[in-house]
Structure 1
Amino acid sequence: MAGKRRKDYRGVVIAAVIVALWAGLLAYLLQWPASFASPMTYLFVLLQTHLYTGLFITAHDAMHGVVAPGRPKLNKAIGTTTAFLFAYNWYPRLLPRHHQHHRHVATDADPDYHSGAFWPWYFSFLKQYITWWQLLLMAITFNALKLFFPLENVVLFWMLPAILATFQLFYFGTYLPHRGEHPEDNPHKSGTQAKNHVWAFVSCYFFGYHYEHHDKPYLPWWQLHKTKS
C-alpha cells in the first residue's frame, strides 16, 4: 500500500543467521575429532563463544524491540528463543531487569551494577542472571549429550563457550563501560571503547560502544558502529 512503511526484515535475517551458525557449528563440533595439540580446537572454542554471545546480544536487541520492529510477537519469539538457547535464560525474567538497568544505570537500583572490585562484581552479575533451574537444565543437557558425543567435545564446544560468553558479555558490556566514576555531564554513566569497528565487533558485537547504546537504545547491534564519532 502506498505510503506504508516497508517492513524491515534485516534484524530477523541476522538473528536467523546467528542461530543457524551457532547450531550448525555446535552440531559439527560435537562430532569433530578434537585434539588439544591442534590450534583449530582453540579457534573453534573462541568462534563458538562468539556465537553464544551473539545469541544473547540478539535476545538483548529483542528487549529493545529492534530485532523485528513493528512485529512484537515475532520480536518476542526470537528473543525468547535466543535467550533460551543461551544456557536456558528466560526472556520474560530478563526483560524487566534489563530495562531497570537502563532506567537506573550505575545506581543501587541497577541489577547489573555492583560497587566493588572486578570479581565480586562478576559474581554479583552471575547471581542476577543465573537461576537454579537453569543449572538443573544445563546439568540434564550435559549428561544427555555425553551419552552420544565424546565428553571432551561436550565440555569444549558446548559448556566452555557458554561460560566464556558470560564472561565476555560481563567484561565488555557491563564492567568496562560502567566501572569507576563518570562526570556529571555523562547522563548515561557509561564509558565507551575507542573507535575500532573490527575490535568492537570481535570483542562484543559493538557493545563496547556502550555510551552510544544507552544514548540510542533503538539501534540494533549491527548499526551501533554508525553512531561512533
Structure 2
Amino acid sequence: MPKSSSFNPAQIGNRGIWFAVVILTTWLLLLSFLLTYHSPGTTASGIGLSWKDPFVYVFVLLQMHLYTGVFITAHDAIHGVVAPNNKRLNDAIGTLATTFFAFNSYKKLSAGHHRHHQHAATEHDPDYHRGNPNIVLWFIDFARSYVSIWQIVAMAVTYNVLKLWLPMENLIVFWMVPAFLSTFQLFYFGTYLPHRGEHENPPHNARSQALNHTWAFISCYFFGYHEEHHTQPYLPWWKLAEAREGK
C-alpha cells in the first residue's frame, strides 16, 4: 500500500488554479493556431495539410497530450482540488474543462466518477468492463457510459459552423482526432491498465505502473500511479508522483 500522505487539500492554495489556467490556455492557443495551420505549397492556394509534413504528426500528439491535461483538470475539479477554497470557482473551471473536451457534461462525469471510486472494478462501476474484458469492447462500453446524444449534436453543430471559416481537414485532424486519441489514452492508462484482471486490494481494486515519472507524465499526467489516486483521491495530479515515491 502507498504511504499515507499528510497533505491537506487546503494547502494547495492557488496552485491548482494556476495549473488549470496554464493547461487550458495552452490547449486553446495551440488549437487556435492549428485550425489555420497549413503546409506551404500543398495546394494552389497554399492552404491545406500534407501528410509528408512531420509537424502534422507532432502537433496531433501535442494536442492529444494537452486534451488529456484538459480532462485531468476536470477530473481534479470533480475531486474539489483545483480550487479547494472556492467551490464555485472549482466547479466553474471543471465545467469549462469538460466543455472544452468535446462538450462533456461536468455533472454527469462527476456522478459517474464518484461511483467509480465507490465501486472500483465491480459491476456497479460505470468505468468497468461489465463482462467485456476485451479491450475494444471495454472501451466502447466505457465511452457509452459518458457520451450523450446532446454531446454528439453539439460537436456536429460546432463542426458545421466552424467549417464555414476554417479548413475542414484542420478541424478533423487537430480538433476531432486528438480528442478521440486522448479519450483512448485516458481509458488505457487510467482505467484499463490499473483495473484489468484480478485484484487483491479491495475496495480500491487498482494498481500502479512502475516508478518512472517521465513516462508517467507523458502517458497520462501521473494517473498511471493509480493506486495512489484511489487511496488518496484528495491529491491533485501534480502530487501523485510524490505519493508514488513513498510506496
Does 1:100 find its partner at 2:105? no
Number of the residue aligned with 1:30: 35
What does 1:108-119 align with in structure 2 at a 5 Å threshold?
A: 108-114=123-129, 115=131, 116-119=133-136
What does 1:20-99 align with in structure 2 at a 5 Å threshold?
A: 20-33=25-38, 34-99=49-114
Amino acid at match of 2:97: T
Offset at residue 7 of structure 1 (A): 7.1
Q: Secondary structure at the match of 2:104?
A: coil
> 2, 11, 19: which is aligned to 1:14?
19
Amino acid at match of 2:188: Y
Q: Distance in 2 between matches of 1:119 and 1:7?
A: 38
> 195, 199, 202: which is aligned to 2:218?
202
- C-alpha deviations, 1:87-124, integer Å up to 9, x for none? 00111111111111000001111000013211110000
- C-alpha deviations, 1:119-160, integer Å up to 9, x for none? 110000010010001001101111112111111111110110
- C-alpha deviations, 1:187-220, integer Å up to 9, x for none? 4110111011010000000000000100110000
State the 4+ residue runs in structure 1 displaced beyond 3 angstroms.
none
- C-alpha deviations, 1:143-179, integer Å up to 9, x for none? 1121111111111101101111110110000000000
Amino acid at match of 1:175: Y
Does 1:213 find its partner at 2:229? yes
Question: Unaligned stretches of 5+ in structure 2?
Answer: 1-9, 39-48
Q: Secondary structure at the match of 2:145?
A: helix
TM-score by length of 2: 0.88
Q: Distance in 1 between matches of 2:31 and 2:83?
A: 26
Number of the residue aligned with 1:222: 238
Number of the residue aligned with 2:170: 153
Question: Unaligned stretches of 5+ in structure 1?
Answer: none
- C-alpha deviations, 1:16-58, integer Å up to 9, x for none? 1111101000000111113211111100000001111111100
> Which structure would you say has the larger RCO, counting Cα contacts within 8 Å and 6 or more residues apart?
2
Number of the residue aligned with 2:198: 181
Contact 2:190 2:224 in 1 (8 A): yes
Q: 1:6 to 1:62 in 2, by over 3 A?
A: closer
Q: Distance in 2 between matches of 1:38 and 1:196?
A: 32
Contact 2:120 2:203 in 1 (8 A): no
Q: Distance in 1 between matches of 2:12 and 2:32?
A: 33
Q: Distance in 1 between matches of 2:34 and 2:134?
A: 36
TM-score by length of 1: 0.95
Q: Distance in 2 between matches of 1:126 and 1:170?
A: 9
Contact 2:12 2:81 in 1 (8 A): no
Amino acid at match of 1:22: W
Q: Distance in 2 between matches of 1:6 and 1:95?
A: 23
Q: Distance in 2 between matches of 1:98 and 1:207?
A: 14
